[in-house]
Amino acid sequence: MITTAKRLDTIEEYYFSSKLREVRQLAAEGKPIINMGIGSPDLLPSQAVVDAVSLAMSDPNAHQYQSYQGLPELREGIANFYKKNYNVALIPAVEILPLMGSKEGIMHISLAFLNEGDHVLIPNPGYPTYTSVTNLVGAIPVFYNLTEHTNWEPDFEALEKLDLSKVKIMWIGYPHMPTGARGSLELFSKLVAFAKKHHILLVNDNPYSFVLNDNPISLLQVDGAKDVALELNSLSKTFNMAGWRVGMVLGNATCIDAVLKVKSNMDSGMFFGIQKGAIEALKSETSWFEEMNVIYKKRRVLTEQLAEKLGCKVYKEGVGLFVWAKLPKGITSAEKFIDEILHEKSIFITPGTIFGSNGEGYVRFALCVKEEKIDEAISRCT
Ligand SMILES: Cc1ncc(COP(=O)(O)O)c(C=O)c1O
């Protein structure tokens, strides 16, 4: 028997990777599953994006290795997107690095900055990948609490009380996943000041700012943010391109250079056609977001009704691709709750616990389900 690396003992298979096997098995047995678990947009990218990738296929350069930093035109496109939508100026050559989805950026940033034993501040609840990657590189997750009492924002007094001497990276993400808390420039300013004071690399994971959110903001809007911060962004949810795997890391040029050092040893550039499609997507007019959000708004209204039918209390201020809701009084286990709904009503929703211990008592509904299906889910609960 060939033994696996010790680092594998620090993580488990990704929740959705194993739970969706169970959900698929139920569907294969004939159960009419409505999957409101994972946030994978079912809406299509624009036709212009699809045309751009088709056209790119006949370019003689299409099939060769591509630049480790992405096409200059893609970096320009990202810079224009940031200027237009967040009023953030970025230098395409040194402050922007395209990624194959923002998820890989979490690994690259961690590999670039963390030594074994370094501490990493991770939101609880938060995206599980921050924790698993921290463990994989031998660093130590230090969870900071987000609760409904602080509107899912960090409590700075509690943060200051922690031993921060070994903290190297702090992960934040607003709009926040899973709760949908918006964050604010005021919060970002405080976080930048905190990161500067304690010499921490602050990384904002920002893939949801265009979904059901009338005020998209970036951490990089804060004066001096580029001294200590990076931001991850992604085309997955903004342009319905989750399967394309296009993301980006932006900000401090020295840090971007360190990330490139890792990344250029990992892959050999992003497929030309995908870059061409991404360039087209980034040119989208505001009407693109407006049209997408008309659909998400209707879904959100219905999903809130479904949550309420299940006896849950919805976090109404949430933005982004999910509805976050508190379990009915007296029910304490989110996993037991979602399993009952899965087996009794064939509706799959995500237990808050996969995002950390502060997710206990909550569930998350993805808005990636057509209205008819949400209607059907509601009818199964009456
Ligand atoms: C908070 C958060 N960050 C990052 C990602 C990864 O997105 P991408 O598709 O860009 O890798 C997700 C995906 O669900 C997410 O929820």
Residues 72 and 24 in one domain: no
Atom of ligand 1 nearest to the CA of 106: 4
Q: Which residue has the tokens 């930048």?
A: 192
Does residue 33 share a domain with residue 62? no
Nearest-atom number in ligand 1 for the CA of 40 is 14
Which atom of ligand 1 is closest in space to residue 173's alpha carbon?
1
Pocket test for ligand 1, best of 78, 103, 129, 174 (most atoms within 8 A of CB): 103
Q: What is the pLDDT of residue 254?
A: 98
Q: How far is the CA of 115 from the centre of ligand 1 (A)?
A: 24
Q: Ligand 1, from 177, 248, 267, 368: best to mutate by most atoms within 8 Å of Cβ?
A: 177
Q: Which CATH number characterizes residue 145's domain?
A: 3.40.640.10
pLDDT at 346: 97
Residues 121 and 196 occupy one common structural domain: yes
Q: Last residue of a domain, which of 264, 282, 300?
A: 282
Residues 343-382 as b or e (16 or more Cβ within 10 Å = b): eebbbbbbbbbbbbebbbbbbbbbbbbeeebbebbbebbe
Separation in Å, CA 122 to CA 87, 97, 133, 169, 185: 28, 23, 11, 9, 20
**Is 40 in the same domain as 51?**
no
How many CB atoms are located within 10 Å of the residue 25 CB?
A: 11
Residues 356 and 229 in one domain: no
Which H or E run contains 276? helix 272-282
Q: Which of 282, 307, 328 is the last residue of a domain?
A: 282
Amino acid 48: pLDDT: 97
Verify that 154 and 181 share a domain, yes or no.
yes
Cα–Cα distance between 172 and 192 in angstroms, integer?
11
Question: Which residue of 16, 17, 99, 102 sits with most ligand 1 atoms within 8 Å of its CB, as the best mutation to test the pocket?
Answer: 102
| Nearest atom of ligand 1 to the alpha carbon of 100 | 11
| 239 and 359 part of one domain | no
Which protein residue has the closest C-alpha to ligand 1 atom 15? 127
Cα 320 to averaged position of ligand 1 atoms, centre (Å): 12
Same domain, 216 and 126: yes
Within a domain: 68:
yes
Pocket of ligand 1 (CB under 6 A): 39, 101-103, 127, 173, 177, 205, 207, 234, 236, 242, 247
Residue 1 located in a structural domain:
no
333 Cα–ligand 1 center, Å: 26
Expressed in angstroms and rounded, the spacing between residue 207 Cα and the centre of ligand 1 is 6
In a domain, 155, yes or no: yes
Residues 159, 13 share a domain: no
Q: What is the pLDDT of residue 14?
A: 78
Read off the pTM.
0.96
Give the CB-side neighbour count of residue 229, counting CA atoms within 13 A: 29
For residues 324 and 237, state if they share a domain. Answer: no
From ligand 1's centre to the CA of 119, what distance in Å?
A: 22
Residue ending a domain, among 260, 282, 304, is: 282
For residue 41, report the distance from its CA to the centre of ligand 1, in Å.
12
**350 in any annotated domain:** yes
Decide if 57 is inside a domain: yes
- Amino acid type, 135: N
Question: Which amino acid belongs to residue 363?
Answer: V
- CATH number of the domain at 361, please: 3.90.1150.10
Digitized pLDDT (tens) for each residue of the chain, 382 residues in all:
999 999 999 988 878 888 889 999 999 999 999 999 989 999 999 999 999 999 999 999 999 999 999 999 999 999 999 999 999 999 999 999 999 999 999 999 999 999 999 999 999 999 999 999 999 999 999 999 999 999 999 999 999 999 999 999 999 999 999 999 999 999 999 999 999 999 999 999 999 999 999 999 999 999 999 999 999 999 999 999 999 999 999 999 999 999 999 999 999 999 999 999 999 999 999 999 999 999 999 999 999 999 999 999 999 999 999 999 999 999 989 999 999 999 999 999 999 999 999 999 999 999 999 999 999 999 999 8
CA of 104 to the centre of ligand 1 (A): 9
How many domains does the chain fold into?
Answer: 2
From residue 277, how far is each of 74, 192, 272, 284 by CA, in Å? 10, 34, 9, 11
**Model pLDDT, residue 354:** 94
Say if residue 162 is in the same domain as residue 293: no
Question: Domain range spanning residue 225?
Answer: 47-282
Distance 103 CA to ligand 1 centre (A): 6
Let me know if residue 81 belongs to a domain: yes
DSSP 149: G
Q: Do 216 and 347 reside in the same domain of the chain?
A: no
Which residue owns the Cα nearest ligand 1 atom 3?
205
